[in-house]
Structure 1
Amino acid sequence: MNSTRRVGSTFIELLPEDSFLNKHFSITALVPLLVRWMMHWQGRRPDASAARLVQVLFGQSYSLLCAGMGPVLLAIGVADWLAIASPPKTSERTLASMLRDRTVFFDQALSVALVSVEQVVILGAGFDTRLYEYCRGRDLGLFEVDQIETQAVKKQALKQSGIDIGNVHFVTVNFADEDWMQGLISGGFNLGKRTFFLWEGVTYYLTKAEVEKGFALMNQVCGDGSAIAFDFFSEALVNDERTRLGTAVFNMIGEPLRFGLEVSKGVEAGLVDIIANTGLSLDKVQTIESWIGEKPEPAGRAASGLLSGNVLGGFATLKKDRKHKK
């Protein structure tokens, strides 16, 4: 993500001048926070830090948010297609439920990693609160890595909300720069230690080469027993003509989609391809295969396959161990 824009100008005009939402930061970083906030108030995923951050970020407009989202919270509890933050009614993961499902997937990946890792790094941290909810009181090296605009807003909001940041190190980088890992090392990251990297909501804003380079850099600096969790879109979703309106929106807010995973030979083959030269191995994969749970179209009608059960995106974990060292 190379630029940030203000949240919709019409909405901004209604906000107090000192509102955090008047500041420049990544719009796409706000959406996952709101999903976690909804899950918190539904009692599905307790996250007091997310609740406090949302209240501070919205300030005097928080009551308007609650008034507007109340009916939405009720609706997503009864309507399958509004699966943004509701509990899954089936085992199927859809594009509509992707933010909820990836939240659960990454929570579980972090929980498993905390048994053995020595460092936790949140790459493209946005308004993530996992370090304050799950890592507090642990003897760990903790790092949040992001662009300067979003990180500055978050640090101000954390201070105002009274959230104890403990020993979290904040590192400013641009993932499109080849030397972004050096920034993390300069920020106190210890080479060779077992590390859990969370790369949530970032890969599709980079080029394929930048994604591959990122995985290679992570492998180079962490120790055996480390893990990486990330999400991805498929090439079909990013480039299909039926998603042009959606991609146009990303372009408009200054965060264009640049990378989609090639899945024509299977999602695992596509993932193995992008880590082929890193020394990492594929651990777990969950895929998104429909928009809102629709049934696959007959083969003759699904020319490009987006509604025929093809992978639209998903989440995965990679691991580093001795037998896969290069």
Structure 2
Amino acid sequence: MRKLVSRVAFYVLCTVMSPVFLIGYIMWIGGTLASGRSGVSGTAQGPLSARYSEHNFGTRPDEAADRLLRALPGVPGPALFLTTAPVFLAHRLTGYVPRAFRYPYEGKVSPQYEASARIGFFDAALERYLPDDTQFVILGAGFDTRAYGLANDVRVRVFEVDTLPTQTVKRKTLEKAGIDSSRVTFVPADFEKEDWLDCLTAAGFDPAERTLFLWEGVTMYLDRAAVEDTLRKIASTAAGSVVAFDYFTSEPFESSSFYWRYGRAATSAAGEELKFGVDSTPPSRDRLAELLRSCGLSLTEQQTLGEDTQKRRAWGGFAIATVEKAA
């Protein structure tokens, strides 16, 4: 009963303060679109915002995410305050944490909570595999902050790969926020236009050493050729190397539901159109395994998102794949 009361009180308070939130949200969207026009990834803000929120709800500490978002050029300070203050105040008064920001995420994952739910999946992958690896490569790093929580693990070399515009803004913002990034090697590369593995190797990466690749929130924005090429390049690295990634199926591209129509329009407006999805023919896990196998990788772990039947297709998933042997 106490949980129900706190939940109701939380949402009543949020409703009362919703005009404040709405004003902040409009300001934030304007800033995001402006940053997108400069070539900076607008969708990269989503995962950062989720980690920022979990930090401020007290469910997953991430000081770097908190400081980075506050200093990010595409996020006006007043917009951040107006958008988040109502929910954080409601939380402090009631003690309630919305499901989207509990850690780890609980229950079925809906599309709007994918960015929050995958945080725990990827954190678990780091805990499981990084102790056995000497290299950690974040592909399409965006505004990921995991590398800045590894300050005491000098054994692992960390690389971040992303497009030059996004990476330039991130490096300047890290400096502005006072976040030490000296142990991270930044590698500018465009997955659809450049050989990112050549760029990575030139920056000091050793393909012969076991590596953990993190590929979060990227595959759906690349064309099929770039996705398959990236997987093959990962498969060419040392045996035992691992890639953890998330993906959409073809359902988000084919669905006529309001949510997915809005999602396709919104990402297109932000300059990052949805492009790639794994075949959703059930069981979608098998379709994913086939794709990975054709690229030289073995599916190790997978979580299907959404139902996986002929009537209601899975819309995505989280996965881990392994390099069984060097190509």
Whether the 8 Å contact between 1:171 and 1:187 is mirrored in structure 2 is yes
* Residue 318 of structure 2 is aligned to residue 315 of structure 1: yes
Aligned pair in 2 of structure 1 residues 77, 20: CA closer, same or farther (>3 Å)? farther
| TM-score (normalizing by structure 1) | 0.81
Amino acid of the structure 1 residue aligned with 2:202: S
Q: Kindly indicate whether residue 69 of structure 2 is the aligned counterpart of residue 35 of structure 1.
A: no
Distance 1:253 1:13, change over 3 A: closer
Q: Paired residue for 1:255, among 263, 269, 272?
A: 272
* 8 A contact 1:263–1:269 mirrored in 2: no
Cα displacement (A) at 1:99:
1.1
Equivalent residue, structure 1, for 2:254: 239
CA distance in 1, matches of 2:108, 2:29: 40
Q: Within 5 A, what are the aligned runs for 1:74-93? A: 74=90, 83-87=99-103, 90-93=106-109
2 CA distance for matches of 1:89 and 1:319? 25
Contact 2:100 2:116 in 1 (8 A): yes
Shift of 1:13: 11
CA positional deviation for 1:58 = 5.6
Contact 2:36 2:270 in 1 (8 A): no
Unmatched segments (≥5 aa) in structure 2? 1-23
Distance 1:60 1:204 in 2: 24
| SS state at 1:214 partner | helix
Q: CA deviation at 1:78?
A: 5.2
Equivalent position amino acid for 1:27 in 2:
G
The Cα offsets for residues 136-195 of structure 1, whole Å up to 9 and x where unpaired, read as 432122100001111000000111111111321101111112522211111111121100
Q: Which amino acid aligns with 1:285?
A: Q
Q: Distance in 2 between matches of 1:77 and 1:202?
A: 34
Deviations for 1:246-304, whole angstroms, at most 9, x for unmatched residues? 212211221111111112131221111211223211011112217xxxxx9xx9xxxx8
Please give the per-residue CA displacement for 1:79-123, whole angstroms capped at 9, x wherever unaligned: 8xx643235785322213211111110111011111100100001
Spell out the pairing of 1:192-207 with structure 2 (5 A cutoff): 192-207=208-223
2:8 maps to what in 1?
A: none
Secondary structure at the counterpart of residue 217 of structure 2: coil
The answer for unaligned runs of 5 or more in structure 1 is 1-7, 291-295
What amino acid maps onto 1:250 in structure 2?
T
SS in 1 for 2:320: strand
Question: Is the contact made by 1:233 and 1:312 (CA closer than 8 Å) also made in structure 2?
Answer: yes
Question: Among residues 252, 264, 277, which one is paired with 2:294 in the alignment?
Answer: 277
Task: Quote the residue 1:5 is aligned against.
Answer: none
Is it true that 1:166 corresponds to 2:196 in the alignment? no
**Partner residue in 1 for 2:149:** 133
Change beyond 3 A, Cα 1:12–1:112: closer
**Cα pair 2:303 2:319 within 8 Å, conserved:** yes
1:3-42 aligned within 5 A: 11=27, 24-42=39-57
Q: Which residue of 1 aligns with 2:13?
A: none
SS state at 1:27 partner:
coil
Residue 18 of structure 2: aligned partner: none
CA distance in 2, matches of 1:189, 1:210: 20
Length-normalised TM-score, structure 2: 0.81
Which protein, 1 or 2, shows the higher relative CO under an 8 Å CA cutoff with sep ≥ 6?
1
Q: Distance in 1 between matches of 2:145 and 2:102?
A: 20
Distance 1:59 1:312 in 2: 29
Q: Give matches, 1:46-195, under 5 Å.
A: 46-57=61-72, 61-73=76-88, 74=90, 83-87=99-103, 90-134=106-150, 136-177=152-193, 179-195=195-211
More helix as a share of residues: 2
Q: How many residues align?
A: 297
Q: Is the 8 A contact 2:300 2:322 kept in 1?
A: yes
Which moves more between the two structures, 141-150 or 263-272? 263-272
CA distance in 1, matches of 2:78, 2:303: 36
Secondary structure of residue in 1 paired with 2:87: helix
Cα deviation, residue 22, structure 1: 9.3
- Maintained 8 Å contact 1:12/1:22: no
CA contact (8 A) 1:25 1:150 kept: yes
1:267 aligns with 2:292: no
The amino acid that maps onto 1:312 is W
Report the secondary structure of 1:286's partner residue: strand
The secondary structure found in structure 2 opposite 1:228 is: strand
Identity of aligned residues (%): 34
